[in-house]
Amino acid sequence: KAGVTQTPRYLIKTRGQQVTLSCSPISGHRSVSWYQQTPGQGLQFLFEYFSETQRNKGNFPGRFSGRQFSNSRSEMNVSTLELGDSALYLCASSPPDRGETQYFGPGTRLLVL
Amino acid sequence: GDSVTQMEGPVTLSEEAFLTINCTYTATGYPSLFWYVQYPGEGLQLLLKATKADDKGSNKGFEATYRKETTSFHLEKGSVQVSDSAVYFCALAASNTGNQFYFGTGTSLTVIP
């Protein structure tokens, strides 16, 4: 079974721009979560989507948004990029129930200049 | 709220040494607990999990026991190898609806020959 895939793997943007990251979950997994990983803050939860609806949301500003499509693929968008948005963005998929193992993609490394 | 507290790193051990990485948690109810491992440049991989009190998760020589009385899930390995060098994350599945995870800050392990 194919794993979680994320595109692109690397991205360089400048301040003020916007960016869209994509995540394809494992086949059959309907829950997709997004995390931001930085050396200073560690792994921080952004949001979780299930059946095209945001089910949980972390403590990030409204510049961070996401969506999920009917095939469970998900995208996250960051508008008006700031230098501090430079990070590894990880996507994880799982069956929908609480406590199910989350399976992570390789991440998208975003650098904001 | 739910949270995970993980032993600070970095940890440096000689090959064949005994490893313990401490993890304690705060949660409502009975969360599932996980250990993930991250190798350089990669996403997180599930190492082991436990879903109820007194369960022992094990994989590749690593073990962790779900201790409700001490709210702990310490990771142990009897004899580490150079290939175990990585960052280890303790996590719990949150008590809210959906499948949101909380992660510890991660512990970097370096094993020297």
Identify the DSSP state of A52: T
How far is the CA of B29 from the CAs of A88, B15, B36, B67, B70, in angstroms? 31, 39, 22, 13, 14
CA distance B64 to B54: 10
B102/A50 touch (CB, cutoff 8 Å), yes or no: no
Helices then strands (H, E): number in chain B?
A: 0, 12
Tokens of A37: 């990983």
Rg (CA), chain A: 13
How near does any CA of chain A get to the CA of B97, in Å? 7
In which residue ranges of chain B is pLDDT below 50?
Answer: none
B106/A43 touch (CB, cutoff 8 Å), yes or no: yes
Identify the DSSP state of A62: T
Q: Which residue on chain A is closest to B34 by alpha carbon? A: A101
Q: How many residues does the structure list for chain A?
A: 113
Pairing of strands B11-14, B107-112: parallel
pLDDT in tens, B8-38: 889 999 999 999 999 999 998 889 999 999 9
If phi > 0 it is left, if psi is from -120 to 50 it is alpha, else beta; for residue A9 that is alpha
Residues 37-76 of B with CB under 8 A from A: 42-46, 49, 51
Read off the pLDDT band of A106 (50, 70, 90): very high
B43/A104 touch (CB, cutoff 8 Å), yes or no: yes
Model pLDDT, residue B89? 97
